[in-house]
Amino acid sequence: MNLPRIHLIATGGTIAGVADDRASTTRYQAGSLAGHALLEAIPEVHGFARITISQPFNLDSKDLGPGHWLQLARDVAEALVDPACDAVVVTHGTDTLEESAFLLDRLFAPGKPVVLTCAMRPASAHSADGPLNLLHAVQVAASGVTRQTGVVAVINEQIHAASRLHKRHTRALDAFEGGDSVIGWSDPPSLDLGPETPARLPGLLSSLSELPRVDVLWVGAGSEPDLMASSISHGARAIVLCLPGNGSLPAVWLDAVKKALARDVIVVRSSRTGAGRVTPQPGDGPMLFASGRLTPPQARIALMLALAGQLAPAHFF
């Protein structure tokens, strides 16, 4: 049978997690099983695709950072240019799935499917969600329905757009529910919504050797603005402020923001509300601007990519 050829990149997470007993869903070691062990749990996957596997690392996604992201992006790029590969599936932890998904989405033009998946329950648990998520991710990738959408994540029977992916719950099985990221369903693979066309820069990856430091600072009522000076002194080239409401900058932060701008540090006003667009305000400009519909983690990555690629700071917004 001429099945699609899928390259699986296993990176760790709870989907590869193991606990001491089958009832444990919160006490386990993420990134314990290798990619081939994840496939052994779903033998029927071989009826949908011919699969090759690589494993750049096997980590809890809370421990990933810019170096891992670039390594993952290079592995995805290598698979995508291989004529013997029709689609890529990535297994990943849920905690920072949205960062990796956003980065990959901005670096690759739509074409061969790139599908991420994950799990909320460790592989050792009764009713673990990882096996079905991975099986569905392979089915979606093999079907080609996401060829025009850019990067997606298949989680809990739903296809989520990487552009809007956001983990919203600490432990619920449907931890990514409740936003506007769902664009389709995995069984059978189908889309309810058409593709978006965010700014993407497929040529950028080859010129990236590292990503610059960009910090996110969470601002509560009465939070001290001296955190900005600390970030800048530690090398931050841009700062995403996670602000109340519509990216509302407290008066006591104005001076610190001015000082940052004077040192060519970009400042983005994002929101801690978790939903809605942050709109432009008088006083915004090319170095101080609103995050629009990007979440604080997405705004951070958008700035890292723009700075590394010497693009206008707002390029990926």
From candidates 95, 98, 105, 215, binder to ligand ASP by CB under 6 A: 95
**Token pair 């900005």 in the structure block, residue:** 228
| Lookup: tokens for 232 | 């800048």
Looking at the Cβ atoms of 96 and 163, the one nearer to ligand ASP is: 96
CB of 238 to ligand ASP, least distance (A): 25
CB of 31 to ligand ASP, least distance (A): 7
Applying the rule CB under 6 A, the residues between 113 and 132 that interact with ligand ASP are 118, 120
**Measured between alpha carbons, how far is 249 from 285 in angstroms, rounded to an integer?**
15
**Strand bridging mode 214-218 / 238-243:** parallel
Looking at the Cβ atoms of 7 and 121, the one nearer to ligand ASP is: 121
| Nearest to 86, CA basis, from 5, 1, 189, 2 | 5
From candidates 4, 9, 13, 232, binder to ligand ASP by CB under 6 A: 13
Q: Does 62 bind ligand ASP (CB under 6 A)?
A: yes
Q: Does 297 bind ligand ASP (CB under 6 A)?
A: no
**Token pair 């389709």 in the structure block, residue:** 184
Q: Which residue is nearest to ligand ASP (CB)?
A: 93
Q: Does 22 bind ligand ASP (CB under 6 A)?
A: no
Binding span for ligand ASP by CB under 6 A among 87-95, 102-110, 134-142, 249-257: 87-95
Applying the rule CB under 6 A, the residues between 125 and 184 that interact with ligand ASP are none
| 14 labelled catalytic | yes
| Nearest to 217, CA basis, from 168, 263, 260, 156 | 260
With left for phi above 0 and alpha for psi between -120 and 50, is residue 27 left, alpha or beta? beta
Binding span for ligand ASP by CB under 6 A among 93-101, 177-185, 189-197, 221-229: 93-101
DSSP H helices, the chain, are: 35-40, 66-81, 97-107, 130-143, 226-233, 254-262, 296-308
**Under 8 Å between Cβ of 59 and 29:** no
Looking at the Cβ atoms of 127 and 273, the one nearer to ligand ASP is: 127
Looking at the Cβ atoms of 94 and 149, the one nearer to ligand ASP is: 94
**Under 8 Å between Cβ of 122 and 128:** yes
**Measured between alpha carbons, how far is 155 from 121 in angstroms, rounded to an integer?**
12
Q: Does 61 bind ligand ASP (CB under 6 A)?
A: yes
Looking at the Cβ atoms of 30 and 88, the one nearer to ligand ASP is: 30
Burial track 123-138 (b if 16+ CB lie within 10 A, e otherwise): bbbeebbbbbbbbbbb
* Catalytically annotated residue among 14, 25, 96, 146: 14
Size of the site for ligand ASP (CB under 6 A): 11
Provide the annotated active-site residues. 14
Sites of contact with ligand ASP (CB under 6 A) = 13-14, 30, 60-62, 93-95, 118, 120
